[in-house]
Amino acid sequence: MKYTKEHEWLRVEGELVVVGITQHAAEALGDVVFVELPEPETQVAAGDEVCVIESVKAASDILAPVDGEIVEVNEALSDNPGLVNEDPTGTAWFFKMKIDDLAVLNDFMDEDEYNELIG
């Protein structure tokens, strides 16, 4: 897995990049009550707002970590947003992206670097 400074994780599955938020981010948000997902087949640029998460504490944006196309979203989060708190790095992924070059993921933090960031 790779990590962003915005507390997102990225995992490669075949030719796709799966994106979610970290345990640290889920804990900081508190109980998640709503997740607004993007539309599949949406072209995004790195830094674009892609999802909105609302919790009892605040609303947060999930940004596209890289340029690419959203090819799949996790509809389970619409029905059960609490999955974000229960399993943020597993079943609570937000979307899958197709990107041109998986090598761009080398620019993101690995687990040790992320743990140092959240220290």
pLDDT of residue 97: 98
Fold for the domain defined by 2-100+110-118? OB fold (Dihydrolipoamide Acetyltransferase, E2P) (2.40.50)
pLDDT of residue 20: 97
Q: Please compute, for residue 63, the number of CA atoms within 13 A of its CA located in the half-sphere on the CB side.
A: 11
Average pLDDT for consecutive 10-residue bins of the chain (119 residues)? 96 96 95 96 96 94 96 97 96 96 94 95
DSSP-assigned letter for residue 37: P
pLDDT of residue 106: 94
pLDDT of residue 16: 97
Pairing between strand 42-44 and 59-63?
unpaired
Where do the structural domains in the chain lie, given as residue ranges? 2-100+110-118
pLDDT of residue 67: 96
